[in-house]
């Protein structure tokens, strides 16, 4: 229980009610109080950062939490001081269309960005200058980009239905683009050791790739009855969690590719986001039903939630 409370971080003001939720269940009155506490805590932490002239599509904290990067439909990237909310330097310009995703390298020195201009770009965080030439190869909008845990490789996901691997130092493509899915790729995640990538698709499956070659590894993980929106590895890399349009969550053995826990049921609409806790004992999920839930990763039982702080 203490691990759950620690993981809730800024929501620790609600510890007593969360503990009661886990052990006894909440009355309607207590649930309303919990929602109010969570809302007030989140509101207190909010800081408005103004500067973009278009919608903000993506935000990312630097590894040390000192900076925040934002990518916008105004085609720019901005870097902010996370403590003061002040912009650190002039906007990073280079993309010619919407910036959909920004991601810091593990050492915090480099920033990768993905855009509707079909490119990935790398930036020096210290100077704000673009590093090298744009990474080109996708034939449609690039939705997301992420570094491998060691910072050596980058994976990008595009509306062209492919995943691409890049050398983060040279900007060169690694192998051919992966086209193993029969529909859009919605999510991609590196394993903790950086050796594999899990991808979730609108073809209802999850596939594993060799992160060095980009080649598929084994058969797809099948079980969901709808698009797979989100995938994430456990900290030890032994399990994969997935969230789907079928309103469920599944936990898979990364080696056998079989469902080991689930389907976890409770959400009333699409499960858009899933993640393991740092110790691998719990899973947090976010859904289109406007709620968040915390689950026991071993039993699949709901540990806390749903919290209905969001309206959508």
Which pLDDT tens digit goes with each residue over 239-253? 999 999 999 999 999
Give the per-residue pLDDT at 26: 41
The residues, ordered by sequence, that sit 6+ positions from 232 with a Cβ below 8 Å of its Cβ are 189, 198, 240, 241, 274, 275, 276
pLDDT at 142 over 50: yes
Mean pLDDT of 273-297: 83
Q: Let me know if 87 is exposed, middle or buried by CB neighbors in 10 A (0-12, 13-18, 19+).
A: middle
pLDDT at 114 over 50: yes
Check which CATH number belongs to the domain holding 94 and give it: 2.130.10.10
Say how far residue 262 (Cα) sits from the centre of its chain.
Answer: 21
Answer yes or no: do 123 and 138 share one domain. yes
Answer yes or no: do 237 and 224 share one domain. yes
pLDDT at 272 over 50: yes
Answer yes or no: do 203 and 289 share one domain. yes
Give the per-residue pLDDT at 47: 60
DSSP string, 140-156: S-EEEEEE-TTSSEEEE
User: pLDDT digits over 201-251, tens only?
Assistant: 888 889 898 888 778 888 899 989 999 988 889 999 999 999 999 999 999
Give the per-residue pLDDT at 43: 46
Range of the domain at 76: 54-179
* Inter-residue contact 190 to 197 (CB < 8 Å): yes
Answer yes or no: do 170 and 91 share one domain. yes
β strands within 109-224, DSSP E:
110-115, 119-124, 130-136, 142-147, 153-158, 163-167, 173-178, 185-190, 196-201, 206-210
Residue identified by tokens 């080649």 is 215
Of 136, 161, 179, at which residue does a domain stop? 179
Give the per-residue pLDDT at 75: 94
Query: Can you tell me the distance from the alpha carbon of 152 to that of 170, in angstroms, rounded to the nearest whole number?
Result: 10
Asked whether residue 270 is domain-assigned, the answer is yes
Of 117, 145, 179, at which residue does a domain stop? 179
Asked whether residue 17 is domain-assigned, the answer is no
The residue that leads in pLDDT, 181 or 208, is 208
Short-list 256, 193, 250, 261, CA closest to 225: 250
Give the per-residue pLDDT at 39: 46
Answer yes or no: do 175 and 208 share one domain. no
Of 179, 200, 229, at which residue does a domain stop? 179
Take residue 218 and report the two structure tokens written for it: 């084994």
């Amino acid at each position: 229980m203490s691990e759950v409370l620690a993981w809730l971080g800024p929501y620790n003001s609600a510890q007593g009610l969360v503990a009661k939720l886990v052990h006894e269940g909440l009355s309607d009155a207590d649930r309303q109080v919990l929602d109010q506490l969570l809302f007030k805590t989140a509101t207190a932490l909010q800081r408005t950062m103004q500067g973009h002239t278009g919608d903000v599509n993506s935000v990312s904290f630097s590894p040390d939490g000192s900076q925040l990067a934002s990518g916008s439909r105004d085609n720019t990237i901005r870097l902010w001081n996370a403590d003061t909310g002040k912009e650190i330097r002039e906007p990073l310009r280079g993309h010619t269309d919407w910036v959909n995703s920004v991601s810091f390298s593990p050492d915090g020195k480099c920033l990768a960005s993905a855009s509707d201009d079909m490119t990935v770009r790398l930036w020096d965080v210290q100077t704000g200058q673009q590093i090298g030439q744009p990474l080109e190869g996708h034939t449609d909008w690039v939705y997301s980009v992420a570094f491998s845990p060691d910072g050596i490789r980058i994976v990008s996901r595009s509306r062209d239905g492919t995943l691409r691997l890049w050398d983060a130092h040279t900007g060169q493509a690694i192998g051919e683009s992966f086209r193993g899915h029969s529909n859009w790729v919605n999510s991609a995640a590196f394993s903790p050791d950086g050796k594999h990538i899990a991808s979730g698709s609108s073809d209802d499956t999850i596939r594993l790739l060799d992160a060095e070659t980009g080649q598929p590894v084994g058969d797809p993980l099948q079980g969901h009855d709808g698009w797979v929106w989100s995938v994430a590895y456990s900290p030890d890399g032994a399990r994969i969690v997935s969230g789907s349009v079928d309103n469920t969550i599944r936990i898979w053995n990364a080696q056998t590719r079989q469902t080991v826990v689930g389907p976890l049921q409770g959400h009333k609409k699409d499960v858009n986001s899933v993640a393991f806790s740092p110790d691998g004992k719990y899973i947090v999920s976010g859904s289109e039903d406007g709620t968040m839930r915390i689950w026991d990763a071993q039993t699949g039982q709901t540990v806390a939630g749903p919290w209905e702080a969001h309206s959508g």
